[in-house]
Structures are given as structure tokens and as C-alpha cells.
Amino acid sequence: METAAQSGTAFMWWILLAFVLFMIWFPARSQKKQEQERKNRVDALKKGDQVVIPNGIIGTVAGFKDNAIEVKIAEGIKLTVLKTAIVGFVNENQPAANEGGAK
């Protein structure tokens, strides 16, 4: 026969297990949601949009290839980067970089 103390201990183990599972599931779900939003935003890019590529380089979308994007970073200089390399977006809510670099 189970005593009240054993019943309470079993209940606490179930609560602990539920808490641990939640702490594993919730961040993974949040990260997956953020990645999906970034992917949707990359898929919606068009010529003229400003993007941030690794090392903080800001450029303007100049063209598209299969799974890559041509990014113009200066007059006459274009880089071809994979869509997965886009790390950020410059929009009307963020201050835009000076065209032509620092002065």
C-alpha cells in the first residue's frame, strides 16, 4: 500500500519531468520559428533591398541565382553569397549605412 509520502514524491518526479521536457521543447520551438521567419524574409527579397552579410557588411541586392544572391557592396563590386549567408536586413526601422562607406 502506498503512503502519502510516496505519493507526494512520485508527483514531484512527474512535475520535474514535465518541467525538464518543457525547458527542452520551448527554446527549440522558438528557434525554429525565428529561423522560419528569416527564411521567409530572405525568400521575399527583391532587387534594391539592403541586407547584412557576415562580418557586418551591408549591401544592396543586385540579382538572384539558384540558391544565391548577388550583393552590391560598392560601386562596381558585387559579391555572390548563398541565401543562408544573409544574417540581417536593413529596413526603414533601422538606420541605413552611408552609401560609399565612411567619410
Residues in the chain: 103
Can you give the pTM of this predicted structure?
A: 0.60
The dotted CATH code for 46-90 is 2.30.30
Burial of 59 (0-12, 13-18, 19+ CB in 10 A): buried
Q: Where are the domains of the chain?
A: 1-44, 46-90
Sign of the Cα pseudo-torsion (97, 57, 85, 88, in order): negative
Strand order in the sheet with 68-74: 77-82, 68-74, 57-64, 50-53, 88-90
pLDDT tens series, the chain, 103 aa: 456 667 778 888 999 999 999 888 888 888 899 889 888 988 889 999 999 998 889 999 999 988 899 999 999 999 999 999 998 888 755 444 444 444 4
